Amino acid sequence: MRLLIVGTLEGYITAAGKIAMKRGAKVSHTDSIEGALTALRAAAGADLVMIDVKLDIATFIDSLKSERITIPVVACGIGTDAAAAVRAIRAGAKEYLPLPPNAELIAAVLEAVAEESHSIVCSDPAMLATLRLAEQVAPSDASVMITGESGTGKELMARFIHRKSRRSGEPFVAVNCAAIPENLLESELFGHEKGAFTGAVARRLGKFEEANNGTLLLDELSEMHPRLQAKLLRAIQEKEIDRIGSSQPVKVNVRLIATSNRNLEAEVRSGNFREDLYFRLNVFSVAIPSLRERPADIPMIAEHFLKKYAEANGLGDKRLTEDALLMLKTHHWRGNVRELENTMHRAVLLSRGEEVGPEAIMLTSKMLAPEGSAQASIPSDSPVANPFAGPGGTVPAASQPAQPAVPLVVPPQGALPTSYGPPKGGKPGPYGMAANSSAAAAASAGSSGAGLAALIGRTVADVERDLILETLTHCLGNRTHAANILGISIRTLRNKLKQYGDEGRSVPTPGNDERATA
Ligand SMILES: Nc1ncnc2c1ncn2[C@@H]1O[C@H](COP(=O)(O)OP(=O)(O)OP(=O)(O)O)[C@@H](O)[C@H]1O
């Protein structure tokens, strides 16, 4: 949740910001309406605007409308000024929040916006059954393990469970265990005291304390180092944590949800993951099917993102043609919903007019499709050929019948996320890049004599480095996705990147969603 505060809020900016941050929001501030519009135009991103009632809210909301920027606006002013509240609501503000800021009210507004922007769109029976299970599990305090391939919606599901739990009014805090190096992850989770190590200039509370009374999501837990696994186990068993550098344990009351896109049982068997921790966390297990296993969700999710990005870019109504839909239904969605979301974002930007046809559908993961999958080259004169695709196209020859679907958006029905700009997971990828990159060349080398010949004379380490760096660039710096694509562990990837960095190579910086998020 990204909150943009506009104006002085009668001197309560810090207080309001702190409350919002405690509820997991990322807060930014600007003094003026022009500053806010500039930030929003630059796609700096916000899910909610809190604006000082003394500013010209009517003009602000009119500007948003005329620029087709869809974002809820909440006015804030001194509680006793009823006339100002009426003016703000008449101008189009969704709510009026009295100052001094009230933690409960701010939490309720953030919650309402979060519900809208974290909607789970689905209609496939497989996904509906998973949701029903999650809803059943949610009210208890038991730990939940959510498994599923990359991009299937594990974090979304964790938020859903939190929303449906008795802790919904308390913080939801997420930590991506794969994105943070081991030495920093310990302090991120458990906090540290001033002077605990070089650079610890002040006491810092960790995510366990931040999530106190709420829910802590340990994203990609399988990547956690065994030494930290032991410390985590102790925290769960004792319900207390030790800040680094402190001998005073701190009691915490946290519901844990963990996710993994690896088979954790196999990780336990191979000795990479502690069995006792696995059983502690896996009280309930929610397995999210891949998009391939819930084909009836594809049209609905595609339409959902089409509408979202068309609205966000002020491009009016858009609809998919039958050919385009066929491409989507038969694609091997290796990146699952995230890949579909990015594909629809690109399609919105590439299409002209109301109809979105196959020419606007750029499927990026052709080179990732496993051998023998439904993916097949199609002749370039086929009605569903993709002019943006690499040689051979990316469209499967076989088609699937359209599935009747009972739409479900959880919750609320038909709601559209209010955020705009790039989705979590990054901006649309560099178009056509994979087909031209040396990663693509290396990938195609396995099946093409010419490609292989081009590699002769280069060392394996050299080719490996290019493949890793190109794949990482293709994933917009996202280590997790790059590691998945490359079929190596995130730890191995990180070690390789460190080595390349030490050798003076330029290494793409991590994607935003890989930093610890709150
Ligand atoms: N059913 C859905 N409806 C709408 N959006 C969805 C759905 N599932 C996933 N998304 C969107 O897809 C993106 C990826 O979802 P999310 O981050 O929850 O996946 P994940 O499985 O946790 O990914 P990773 O394995 O990379 O951590 C997000 O932008 C999310 O909002």
The domains of the chain, with CATH numbers, are 2-117 (3.40.50.2300), 120-289 (3.40.50.300), 294-410 (1.10.8.60), 433-514 (1.10.10)
Which pLDDT belongs to residue 356?
95
Geometric angle at alpha carbon 55, from 53 and 58, rounded to 5°: 90
CA neighbor of 339 nearest in space, from 402, 290, 385: 290
Residue that the structure tokens 């540290």 belong to: 192
CA of 54 to the centre of ligand 1 (A): 38
The residue type found at 157 is: M
CA of 153 to the centre of ligand 1 (A): 3
Q: Please identify, by atom number, the ligand 1 atom nearest to the C-alpha of residue 148.
A: 21
Distance CA 66, CA 77 (A): 25
Q: Which of 2, 149, 155 to mutate to test the pocket of ligand 1 (most atoms within 8 A of CB)?
A: 155
Q: Which residue has the least CA distance to atom 12 on ligand 1?
A: 338
Distance CA 230, CA 184 (A): 16
CA of 371 to the centre of ligand 1 (A): 26
CA of 157 to the centre of ligand 1 (A): 8
The encoded tokens of residue 276 equal 């006792």
Q: Please identify, by atom number, the ligand 1 atom nearest to the C-alpha of residue 341.
A: 12
Q: Which residues pair with 432 in a beta bridge?
A: none
Which pLDDT belongs to residue 374?
37
Ligand 1 in contact with 338 (CB < 6 A)?
yes
Which pLDDT belongs to residue 114?
67
Give the count of alpha carbons within 13 A of 115, CB side only.
Answer: 15
Q: Is the link from the previous residue into 422 a cis peptide, with omega within 30 of 0?
A: no
Q: Please identify, by atom number, the ligand 1 atom nearest to the C-alpha of residue 424.
A: 29
Ligand 1 in contact with 301 (CB < 6 A)?
yes
CA of 267 to the centre of ligand 1 (A): 24
Ligand 1 in contact with 130 (CB < 6 A)?
no
Ligand 1 in contact with 337 (CB < 6 A)?
yes
Number of helices followed by number of strands (H, E) in the chain: 21, 16
Distance CA 74, CA 48 (A): 8
CB atoms within 10 A of CB 415: 16
CB of 266 closer than 8 Å to CB of 254: no
Q: Please identify, by atom number, the ligand 1 atom nearest to the C-alpha of residue 121.
A: 3
Which pLDDT belongs to residue 129?
96
Q: Please identify, by atom number, the ligand 1 atom nearest to the C-alpha of residue 219.
A: 27
Which pLDDT belongs to residue 387?
26
Q: Go through 299-315 and write b for each residue having 16 or more CB atoms within 10 A of its CB, e for each that does not.
A: bbbbbbbbbbbbbbbeb
- Judged by DSSP in three states, 211 sits in coil
Q: What is the largest distance, in Å, between two alpha-carbon atoms of the chain?
A: 78
Q: Which of 130, 306, 337 to mutate to test the pocket of ligand 1 (most atoms within 8 A of CB)?
A: 337
Which pLDDT belongs to residue 481?
77
Question: Cα–Cα distances in Å, from 233 out to 120, 191, 240, 482?
Answer: 31, 16, 10, 29
The residue type found at 413 is: Q
Which pLDDT belongs to residue 375?
35
**ipTM at complex level:** 0.98
CB of 50 closer than 8 Å to CB of 36: no
CA of 336 to the centre of ligand 1 (A): 8
Which pLDDT belongs to residue 13?
84
Q: Is the pTM of this model over 0.80?
A: no
How far the first Cα of the chain sits from its last, in Å, is: 8
Ligand 1 in contact with 159 (CB < 6 A)?
no
Q: Please identify, by atom number, the ligand 1 atom nearest to the C-alpha of residue 220.
A: 27
The encoded tokens of residue 472 equal 């990482």
Distance CA 358, CA 327 (A): 7
Ligand 1 in contact with 123 (CB < 6 A)?
no
CB of 456 closer than 8 Å to CB of 467: no
Q: Please identify, by atom number, the ligand 1 atom nearest to the C-alpha of residue 288.
A: 21
Geometric angle at alpha carbon 477, from 498 and 328, rounded to 5°: 145
Which pLDDT belongs to residue 103?
84
Ligand 1 in contact with 423 (CB < 6 A)?
yes
Q: Which of 177, 334, 341, 344 to mutate to test the pocket of ligand 1 (most atoms within 8 A of CB)?
A: 341
Which pLDDT belongs to residue 386?
30
Per-residue pLDDT of the chain (518 residues; tens, 9 = 90+): 778 999 988 888 888 888 888 877 788 889 999 999 888 776 456 778 999 998 999 999 998 877 767 688 999 988 777 888 888 888 888 888 888 888 888 888 877 776 666 789 999 999 999 999 999 999 999 999 999 998 999 999 999 999 899 998 788 888 989 888 877 899 889 988 888 888 787 888 888 998 899 999 999 998 898 889 999 999 999 999 999 999 899 999 999 999 988 888 899 999 989 999 999 999 999 999 999 999 999 999 999 999 988 877 778 889 999 999 999 999 999 889 999 998 998 899 889 889 999 999 988 654 344 444 333 222 232 222 232 222 222 222 222 333 333 334 443 222 222 222 223 333 222 222 222 233 333 333 333 445 566 677 677 788 888 889 988 887 778 888 788 777 777 778 888 898 888 788 888 877 544 443 32
CB of 190 closer than 8 Å to CB of 231: yes
CB atoms within 10 A of CB 451: 15
Q: Which residue has the least CA distance to atom 15 on ligand 1?
A: 153
- E strand or H helix that includes residue 50: strand 48-52
The residue type found at 317 is: D
CB of 503 closer than 8 Å to CB of 414: no
Non-local (6+) Cβ contacts of 504 within 8 A are: none
Distance CA 311, CA 319 (A): 12
Distance CA 176, CA 218 (A): 6
Give the count of alpha carbons within 13 A of 77, CB side only.
Answer: 20
What is the C-alpha R_g of the chain?
24
Which pLDDT belongs to residue 303?
95
Q: Please identify, by atom number, the ligand 1 atom nearest to the C-alpha of residue 304.
A: 4
The pair phi, psi for residue 240, each rounded to 5°, is -150, 155
Ligand 1 in contact with 30 (CB < 6 A)?
no
The pair phi, psi for residue 180, each rounded to 5°, is -115, 125
Distance CA 264, CA 97 (A): 46
